[in-house]
Amino acid sequence: MSRPLVRSELVGSQGLIWLLSVTYAGRVFRWSSRPVDLTDSVTGEVLPFDGGLGDVKVEDVVELLGAAPAELSIPFSVVFPVDVALWIQRGHSLAGVSAEVATVIDNGTATYNQRRVVLVGTVVQPTYGADGEPVAFSVEAPPWSDAALIPNALQRANASAPSSELGKWFPLVFGTPGAFTDATGTAAITSGSPAIITAATGVDADTLLIAGHWVDAANVRIYDKAGAGENFAVTNTTNSSGRVAEVDVTAAATVDRTSDEWWVGWNDGGGMLNDVQDAPRTGAGEVLEWALRLSTVQIDSTRWANARRYLNRFKLSGYIDEPVSPWEWAADNVLPLLPVSIRTGPEGTYPVIFRYDATAEDAVEHIVAGAGIVRDGDVVYPQASDEVYNEIRVQYAKRAKTRQPYRLAIIGPADPGGDADVSQNYYARISATRYGTRSTVIDTDIVYDTATAVQIGQWKARALSLASREVSYSAPFELGWLEPGDVVTLTDAELHLSEHVVHLTAVQWAPDGVTLTFLIPDDPPRDSRAT
């Protein structure tokens, strides 16, 4: 939805009027679920929506912890005021034309500019008959794809570099890859990203490019192929490809300048700077925003900015040195580590945070089953038992040269017994008594921070160790302001639920109200206090 509804807008209204606008053969055709004339408050033009949609049912869904956004597809059957069959024969194809689905509150005062845009997309799979017969089709968002690649076409070693380096892509570096703490809490360093020789004298390397952009680091540790390491100063400069960061190794005392392989450990500052240019870009929120801004995927900048602070508690470090779609890289490497789902709306893609640790104080609404709010079917367990995991092993702090993980964080039912790598999770311990120990491994190239590795394991254990339930309720229009992903409390005496914290996963609009679907996390400490 393009903007949140406000409950006060819906109280006393007749619900929503659905609007469909299709731009076809240079004309805009309009239909609505109830006839309404809407004034464009900018131009003063009155736009008639003469009905013709009938009952519209739309379901707005979020798949909690889903990296790929759910594709919204809304079916319609309408009668055009023109002979569509004739127009198609004249070369005006209906398939692929643009369409907008929107709503206005049925309160007698709404203007066209107050509509909420639900979907801007195209007409797909139309079917038609003779003049005056209904035309059926769906409106869908454009296909979800990213046509961009990073590094960009100029960020590679060209003819000015030694022949051994030609065609290598400049590493794009974020955070402080290679810097970690060992099991004793002592700071350690290993290879975190590759370097490229950009200037040499004979077989001796003179200059190494360590990033295809300017960096925060003042010094880095350079490793040769044999593993010898030495610290060098960093220079942010510009070459024919644009901004780069380099080190001069001509004064090397330890590393072998004849090495044909070079690596970087970021032990004094980090890679690319954040948006305000005051620290390395390392928070997961700011890393995701950077990647998605380089993609061709439209993003909802406001919603990403709102989620940034929460997501930035996860600290990431790594590099990209092979062409990849920014969205594909984010979906494969970053999103699986975070308690977040991705949705798409008229302003673009945006994150929905799964507040697995939410309490009643985080709820935006309290719902009580009873008059007007009626349970719609049984409570179900959508999660299969083989999808339950209660021991999460996070392999992290990798040596970039060999992909060897130096650290392992284990979050599960076991007592640590003094092992610094093991953390006990209460929910995992309860799960193990029900299902036995069920382990899964998270292998990540972009985490070097121990607190982040433990945090990933803890939220995964909380989310995956116990089977959740799902239940739906029919409710009046005034609760339609809620959005999938919202935290609410639910009271239902029949189910012995009293101000129980639940997560809204779907809102289905129907002519007579809304259907709300909730995920009920299994929380034994809280549930044991149920009345």
Q: What is the pLDDT of residues 183-233, one digit of tens each?
A: 889 999 999 999 999 999 999 999 999 999 999 999 999 999 999 999 999
Q: Quick one: the chain helix, strand, coil %, rounded to 5?
A: 15, 40, 45
Q: Which of 365, 374, 370, 369 is nearest to 474 (CA)?
A: 374
> What is the model's pLDDT at position 237?
96
* Contact present, 244 and 238 (Cβ < 8 Å): yes
CA–CA gap between residue 235 and residue 246 (Å, rounded):
5
Confidence at residue 1, expressed as pLDDT on a 0 to 100 scale = 41
Strand 366-368 with 340-345, pairing:
unpaired
Closest to 251 in 3D by CA, of 217, 207, 194, 189 = 207
**Residue 381 one-letter amino acid:** Y
Four-residue CA torsion sign, 494, 463, 454, 360:
negative
DSSP bridge partners of 489? 366, 501
Provide the pLDDT for residue 428.
96
Task: Check if the beta carbon of residue 340 is closer than 8 Å to that of residue 307.
Answer: yes
User: Helix, strand, or coil here: 286?
Assistant: helix
Q: How far apart are CA 350 and CA 304, in angstroms?
A: 6
In total, the chain counts a number of residues equal to: 531
**DSSP for residue 315:** B
Per-residue pLDDT, 531: 45
Return the residue matching tokens 């494969």.
332
DSSP state for residue 300 in the 8-state scheme: -
The residue to which tokens 């509509």 are assigned: 115
Burial class (CB in 10 A: 0-12, 13-18, 19+), 244: buried
Residue type (1 letter), 388: V
Burial class for 206, CB neighbours closer than 10 Å (0-12, 13-18, 19+): middle
Contact 399, 481 (CB under 8 A): no
**Given the DSSP bridges, would you call strands 36-39 and 27-32 parallel, antiparallel or unpaired?**
unpaired
Residue whose entry in the numeric block shows the structure tokens 């004309």: 27
Environment class of 480 (CB within 10 Å of its CB; exposed 0-12, middle 13-18, buried 19+):
buried
- Reading the block at residue 104, the tokens are 């206005």
Segments in the chain below pLDDT 70: 1-13, 64-70, 143, 526-531
Rounded to an integer, what distance in angstroms lies between the CA atom of residue 145 and that of residue 331? Answer: 12
Q: What tokens does 40 get?
A: 């464009």
- Tell if the pTM clears 0.75, that is, is over it: yes
Whole-number pLDDT of residue 105: 85
Question: Buried b / exposed e across 401-410, counting CB within 10 Å, b at 16+?
Answer: beeebebebb
- Whole-angstrom distance, CA of residue 247 vs CA of residue 71: 47
> Is 492 within 8 Å of 375 (Cβ atoms)?
yes
Q: Are 528 and 498 in contact (CB under 8 A)?
A: no
Nearest to 413 by CA among 438, 450, 440: 438
Q: Is the backbone peptide bond immediately before 151 cis, with ω within 30 degrees of 0?
A: yes
DSSP string, 41-61: TTT--EEEE--B--S--EEEE
Place of tokens 């919603």: 303
- What pLDDT is stored for residue 444 in this prediction? 98
How would you classify the pairing of strands 391-399 and 439-443? parallel
CA pair distance 48, 168, nearest whole angstrom: 59
Q: What's residue 345's pLDDT?
A: 77
Q: Who's near 157: CB < 8 A, 6+ residues apart?
A: 165, 166, 167, 168, 170, 196, 198, 209
Return d(Cα 271, Cα 463) in angstroms, integer.
Answer: 32
